[in-house]
Structure 1
Amino acid sequence: MSDSADNTEKEMDVVTRLTRWAQIPLLIGLAIGMMLFLVTFVVDILVAVRTFEFMDRKKTILLILNLLDMVFIANLVIMVATNTYNSYRIRASAHGEDYILQGQMAYRRMKHRIVSTIIIISSIHVLSELLEYSQATALQVAALFGFHLILLATYVVTNVFESNER
């Protein structure tokens, strides 16, 4: 290799290392967000117990849907953080074609999981709004349902095209 190619490779290596190190504060921020979310989760349960809301069937269903919503959102954060960390490890250990192939496979898996989780969260939200129909207008519920259908259609279309490409 020429000196120019060596210098370019070293510069790219420095950029790659800096990019990996820049992910660390983001992961710390996600961890802090998860701790705040955990506090919200526990407070919701304690409030339901303290106020005896769990004695009302409809309120219990809404509480459980709210808790499930929080669990799926937390799992979404964990998926992103885990994938970020795995991407960091792949970059540190793989080179060339291995790096590209491993990165593409990890991206496809993560994309599928994230979109699936977002659709589940959307389903829970639509169901919660339908159960609390007295607090939402018909237009708001229709908009939520329409948005949910758009998410589902996008998921189906992207997976159909992706499976045809393989």
Structure 2
Amino acid sequence: MAADMSGWPGRVIVRIVLLSRWAMVPLFLGLAFALALLVVAFAARLWAFALQIFSLSETAVIMELLNLIDLVLVGGLMVIVIQSGYENFVEQIDRRQAPESPAWMMRISFFELKLKLFASLMAISGITLLKALMRLETDVSETQVRWLMAASVLFLAAYAVLAFTERFAGTSRRAE
């Protein structure tokens, strides 16, 4: 009987820890709602762009296109975080019950997920830097551009370190 009493607190703690993953569900649902808002923002921006297309300069057209691309990249990043986050932290998605689920979700590793996230962040950072460079003569300071360049280099370095460590870890796992 004493063994049962000493074991139940451990089982309760494990049960609480395992159930705590469900606290992530409202966060993923919130991101899904935010993604819907992003779609609305994209549509509004696209509509406004279409209405002024003939009065915009070439530079302004490029800036608007970069803004739209930026929104698309953020949306893609959100989809990756929502779907893979749910699958990694809450529960596996049964592919038989979700045939519309993308094929990449079934075969993506945690390392590949990190690479996709870093690639998205680097693309967003690159577009932000490009937009700043285009506005350099009007309303962006050289200091701001330097910080954006530093952030881009930092993302690139982190991406390289991540790829290197995964390759090194993969090589040592195969050697064992």
TM-score by length of 1: 0.80
Taking every aligned residue pair, what percent have the same amino acid on both sides? 24
Q: Provide closer, same or farther for how the CA distance between residues 54 and 33 of structure 1 changes in structure 2, counting only shifts above 3 A.
A: farther
The match for 1:114 is: 117
Contact 1:130 1:141 in 2 (8 A): yes
Cα distance in structure 2, aligned partners of 1:139 and 1:10? 54
Q: Provide closer, same or farther for how the CA distance between residues 54 and 62 of structure 1 changes in structure 2, counting only shifts above 3 A.
A: farther
The residue type paired with residue 149 of structure 2 is F
Cα distance in structure 1, aligned partners of 2:124 and 2:29? 24
The match for 2:10 is: 8
The residue type paired with residue 125 of structure 1 is T
Q: 1:159 aligns with which of 136, 150, 163?
A: 163
Q: 1:132 aligns with which of 135, 145, 153?
A: 135
Give the paired residue count: 152
Contact 2:73 2:124 in 1 (8 A): yes
Cα distance in structure 2, aligned partners of 1:29 and 1:42? 20
117-126 vs 147-156, which moves further: 147-156
Q: Provide closer, same or farther for how the CA distance between residues 91 and 71 of structure 1 changes in structure 2, counting only shifts above 3 A.
A: closer
Cα distance in structure 1, aligned partners of 2:155 and 2:34? 25
Instruction: Give the unaligned 5+ runs of structure 2.
Output: 95-107, 171-176
Q: What are the residue-to-residue correspondences of 1:1-166 with 2, within 5 Å?
A: 3=4, 4-5=6-7, 8-9=10-11, 11-17=13-19, 19-52=20-53, 55-87=56-88, 88-90=90-92, 106-133=109-136, 134-166=138-170
Cα distance in structure 2, aligned partners of 1:163 and 1:145? 27
Cα distance in structure 1, aligned partners of 2:71 and 2:17? 36
Contact 2:53 2:61 in 1 (8 A): no
Cα distance in structure 2, aligned partners of 1:117 and 1:54? 32
Query: Relative to total residues, which structure has the larger helix share, 1 or 2?
Result: 1
Contact 1:48 1:54 in 2 (8 A): no
The residue type paired with residue 158 of structure 2 is T
Cα distance in structure 1, aligned partners of 2:150 and 2:13? 48
The match for 2:105 is: none
* Cα deviation, residue 55, structure 1: 4.7
Q: Provide closer, same or farther for how the CA distance between residues 11 and 54 of structure 1 changes in structure 2, counting only shifts above 3 A.
A: farther
* Cα deviation, residue 10, structure 1: 5.1
TM-score by length of 2: 0.76
Q: Provide closer, same or farther for how the CA distance between residues 155 and 53 of structure 1 changes in structure 2, counting only shifts above 3 A.
A: farther
Instruction: Give the unaligned 5+ runs of structure 1.
Output: 93-104
